Structure 1
Amino acid sequence: MTLPNIFTRSIADKTIHRINALTPDTRPSWGKMSVDQMLAHLNVTYEMAYDNIHPKPNFFMRLILKAFVKNVVVGEAPYKRNSQTAPAFLIKGSRDFVVEKTRLIAYINKTHLLGEDYFDGKESLSFGPLSKTEWNNMFYKHLDHHLTQFGV
């Protein structure tokens, strides 16, 4: 099953529409994150793609991530509910809902504007070079998983 292409305007807009349906009071159907934490959690993927604020895993950890985690993250199979997440994605404390929502929408728009060719072969912080399909799957699947978690 091919996942929707987050690099296209129509899928980016549909995703942004779902994000705009969230409110500070939206509750999850499963899991422990609040909506503001979930938005901040989603932003980490884009921070790792664009911003130099997260440390690159050491050689040994990258081997482990490539061998055991990469296919789960960049493959087409949906994430399981309540699956474990990497430490960088754990959001502690509350965040500003509007700030995190605005950041996420800006990242989605930036990703669309740069386009899939920008990402084809671009190195992932954790997994090394990824194809544009792998980048799409990672971006879209993560967004869809958590937006579904929050009922939008």
Structure 2
Amino acid sequence: MKSLFDPLVLNEIENRINKLSTDSSAAWGKMNVSQMLHHCQFPLKTALKKNPLTLKPNFLAKLFFKKSMYNDKPWRKNLPTHSKLKVVKTKEFTPEREILLELVAKFSNHRDKKEWEPHPIFGKFTNEQWGQLQYKHLDHHLQQFDV
């Protein structure tokens, strides 16, 4: 599984984000491109402890879905999104893209971090799993917008 901690993968993700435009349309889902850029910030902010959202641990999610967060199997299209992570308000494309790119870069700078705070829903992840999780989430949504 690819990881956002790999410099080549980081470059790939940054290039794909930069290929998006205000005209990019989704192959599935309800979000427009600006909302998707904002949505993709949530997991990065969570890892970097910049997320004001309070999410409760979920034993069933941890038991049944945790491994799917970082394994090689792609996520299904139109998976349900936690209500606190849905973006329904209008967002501006350029600032959202710049914030996302900044968060991606900041997260990737933690490639040597040994101890992470537990994920608020899924609990403890290793450094390797955090990098894979972030890549998988970004890849899923970039595929949603055909980049």
> Which of 28, 42, 56 pairs up with 2:40?
42
Separation in structure 2 between the aligned mates of residue 126 and residue 26 of structure 1, nearest angstrom = 31
Separation in structure 2 between the aligned mates of residue 74 and residue 132 of structure 1, nearest angstrom = 11
> Which of 75, 80, 92 pairs up with 2:76?
80
> Which of 102, 119, 123 pairs up with 1:124?
119
Check the 8 A contact 2:42/2:51 in 1, yes or no. no
Separation in structure 1 between the aligned mates of residue 68 and residue 42 of structure 2, nearest angstrom = 17
Alpha-carbon RMSD across the aligned residues, in angstroms, is 1.6
Residue 140 of structure 1 corresponds to which residue in structure 2?
A: 135
Q: Which moves more between the two structures, 93-102 or 62-71? A: 62-71
Deviation at 1:134, TM superposition (A): 1.6
Residue 70 of structure 1 corresponds to which residue in structure 2?
A: 66
Deviation at 1:31, TM superposition (A): 1.5
Deviation at 1:69, TM superposition (A): 2.5
Q: Which moves more between the two structures, 64-73 or 25-34? A: 64-73
1:13–1:119 distance in 2 versus 1, CA, 3 Å: farther
Separation in structure 1 between the aligned mates of residue 67 and residue 117 of structure 2, nearest angstrom = 17
Check the 8 A contact 1:119/1:135 in 2, yes or no. no
CA deviation vs aligned residue, 1:23-62 (integer Å, no higher than 9, x gap): 11110112211000111111111121121401141xxx42
CA deviation vs aligned residue, 1:89-119 (integer Å, no higher than 9, x gap): 210121111111111111111112121x316
Check the 8 A contact 2:22/2:33 in 1, yes or no. yes
Residue 24 of structure 1 corresponds to which residue in structure 2?
A: 22
- Paired letter, 2:127: K
Matched, 1:112 2:108: yes
- Paired letter, 1:53: P
Separation in structure 1 between the aligned mates of residue 125 and residue 134 of structure 2, nearest angstrom = 12
Percent identical among aligned pairs is 29
Unaligned runs of 5+ in 2: none
- Paired letter, 1:55: T
Residue 54 of structure 1 corresponds to which residue in structure 2?
A: 53
TM (normalized to structure 1)?
0.88
TM (normalized to structure 2)?
0.90
Count of paired positions: 146
